[in-house]
DNA sequence: ATGGCGAGAATTGAATTCAATCACAGCAGG
DNA sequence: CCTGCTGTGATTGAATTCAATTCTCGCCAT
């Protein structure tokens, strides 16, 4: 059973091979967490749905030990809720809880943006312009969700932080499902203020006007928060 | 080996007995995490110090599996840094990183306080007054640290949140060591503005004046942030 | 003396195994 | 017909065991 030490493409995989890729020792938990995170964010798992350890372990070719590690990681991120001796479920939010997360975003994202503004390369600002334009043309909900997320997170990409960036990623992840549900609704209502916000944000970034960018972003998030609060039916399911 | 189902004080402990207390199944990781957290916050572990899994497991009468769970929990809180295959260390902060955390506190704690103000029972406000007074009289660094933490966290105690409260606890925990180091210094400098802030905060709470309370608190945290930034030597060790 | 190298020890990562708890179906009784 | 209880199966929690990696310390060459 002695496996060779990671030869390039020959011989057997040293530990576990998933999708044909060689994987290092000591990252199984993080890898499973990343995969499960994507599944939850992509909608493969619904909020409230139960997560079984054995099922995950079997699907990833691992034992339940790293699966439990992965669940702990996602619990800390707020994506999963664990009850001792009972099980794990995909976390769900009430309307009030979602409002709280949006208030956090409203106060934190302008700060992260301010860290990013000065260091943002001009090429990135052009990509942001392209994303804002693409969103206005987009007709598909899933595509819009993806573009919107890319747009905002890209605008923060020049910020080097130890906690602020992670906190905001978590906020985006925890609210992802409800943002998707809302987007389906907002497209029916033909509200274009979202696009105007994005365009204004790009202008502020071009001018390297940190104050203006912060204000536009705070108003953008606030508007979304209030729109969500007007549609509590999203949270019933 | 069939153990009776949790008889009161007779027979052998069902699983593991620590400090003579009976403990439920499925909480070992959380319990070890809580104990280690207190040790780190209390100063028993210094930033940068290595944490060995076996040592912890032995001390808590458990195997390394729940210890690893505990380390994952504390890593998510930012108190511990884990490197795969290498080990775990108590996290340390640079001056710049600490400033970032204080900027987070500056934006978030007023929000949490606003959640709390209206629901804070009058008795709690009296306790806050007592804590503010006790801090002014306090001569001991450790006692001041403890009173200050109790004061602020108590002022938030009426807020019911799912993420904001946890985030702020983490901010307090991650900066605890440096706050202690600073306090030793500030006492030499005889700066009483901290106490004036506390007294003003209690007044605002008495008046149920949310806006005033938020402003006082933001200024309080900002002043501490700037004071810390003036003493980068704290972060050299 | 100092820096690179290698063998052994120490430490961490993950699979397996066993124990404890919980969920749920079926049944007795009101 | 509904309510509450009980036993069985499923699921999770933790100890043990084994494998992989890294750290440490002594050795040697420069």
Q: Nearest by CB to B167, from A77, A167, A174: name it.
A: A167
Please state, in angstroms and rounded to a whole number, the distance separating the CA atoms of residues B35 and A175: 32
Average pLDDT, stretch A6-13? 26
**CB contact set of A104 (below 8 Å; sequence gap of 6+):** A167, A171, B108, B111, B163, B164, B167
Beta-carbon contacts below 8 Å between A and B: 77
**Burial track B166-202 (b if 16+ CB lie within 10 A, e otherwise):** ebbebbbbbbbbbbbbbeebbeeeeeeebeebbbbbb
Q: Do A84 and B108 touch (CB under 8 A)?
A: no
pLDDT along chain B (237 residues), means of 10: 27 32 78 97 94 96 96 97 96 96 98 98 98 94 95 98 98 96 82 94 98 98 95 86
Return the pLDDT at B19. Answer: 34
Q: Which residue of A has its CA nearest to B68?
A: A69
Could you give the percent of chain A with pLDDT greater than 90? 82
Query: Given pLDDT bands bounded at 50, 70 and 90, which one contains residue A23?
Result: low
pLDDT in tens, B133-192: 999 999 899 999 999 999 999 999 999 999 999 999 999 999 999 999 989 877 777 789
* CB neighbours of residue A22 within 10 Å: 14
Q: Write down the pLDDT at residue B237.
A: 66
A38/B contact by beta carbon, under 8 A: no
pLDDT at A7: 26
Say yes or no to pLDDT of A234 above 80: yes
- The bridge status of strand B50-51 relative to strand B87-90 is antiparallel
pLDDT tens for A162-189 read: 999 999 999 999 999 999 998 987 777 7
Nearest to B155 by CA among B178, B135, B175, B129: B129
Q: Report yes or no: B153 and B147 within 8 Å, Cβ to Cβ.
A: no
Interval A192-225: pLDDT, tens: 999 999 999 999 999 999 999 999 999 999 999 9
Least confident of A1-15, A94-108, A113-127: A1-15
The closest alpha carbon to A189, from A230, A135, A232, A235, belongs to A230
Tell me which chain B residues have a C-beta less than 8 angstroms from the C-beta of A73. Answer: 72, 76
Alpha helix stretches (DSSP H) within B61-121: 64-77, 95-117
pLDDT score at A177: 95
Give dist(CA A219, CA A106) in Å, integer.
8
Query: What pLDDT is recorded for position A221?
Result: 98
Domains recognised in chain A with CATH numbers: 28-90 (1.10.10.10), 95-235 (1.20.120.530)
CA–CA dist A107, A114 (Å, integer): 12
* A63 lies within 8 A of chain B by CB: no
Compute how many other C-beta atoms are within 10 angstroms of the C-beta atom of residue B237. 10
In this structure, the protein residues whose CB atom falls closer than 7 angstroms to any atom of nucleic acid strand D are A 1-3, 5-6, 14-15, 24-26, 51-54, 64-65, 68, 82, 84-88; B 15-16, 25-29, 61-66, 69, 83, 85-87
Average pLDDT over residues A123-137: 97
**pLDDT for A19:** 34
Mean pLDDT over the full length of chain A = 89
pLDDT score for B38: 97
User: Which A residues 11-30 touch B at CB under 8 Å?
Assistant: 24-27, 29
């Amino acid at each position: 059973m002695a496996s060779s030490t990671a030869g390039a493409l020959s011989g057997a995989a040293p530990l576990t091979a998933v999708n044909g890729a060689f994987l290092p020792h000591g990252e199984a938990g993080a890898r499973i967490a990343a995969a499960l995170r994507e599944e939850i964010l992509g909608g493969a798992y619904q909020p409230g749905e139960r997560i079984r350890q054995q099922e995950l372990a079997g699907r990833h070719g691992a034992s339940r030990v790293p699966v439990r590690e992965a669940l702990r990681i996602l619990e800390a991120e707020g994506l999963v809720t664990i009850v001792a001796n009972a099980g794990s479920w995909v976390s769900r939010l009430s309307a009030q809880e979602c409002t709280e997360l949006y208030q956090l975003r409203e106060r934190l994202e302008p700060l992260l943006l301010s860290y990013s503004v000065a260091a943002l390369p001009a090429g990135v600002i052009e990509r942001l312009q392209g994303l804002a334009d693409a969103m206005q043309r987009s007709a598909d909900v899933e595509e819009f969700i993806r573009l919107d997320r890319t747009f905002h997170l890209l605008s923060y990409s020049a910020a080097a932080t130890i906690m602020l960036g992670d906190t905001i990623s978590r906020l985006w992840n925890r609210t992802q499902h409800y943002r998707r549900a809302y987007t389906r609704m907002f497209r029916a209502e033909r509200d274009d203020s979202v696009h105007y916000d994005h365009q204004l944000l790009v202008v502020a970034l071009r001018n390297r006007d940190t104050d203006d960018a912060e204000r536009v972003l705070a108003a953008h998030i606030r508007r979304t928060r209030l729109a969500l609060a007007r549609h509590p039916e999203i949270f019933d399911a």
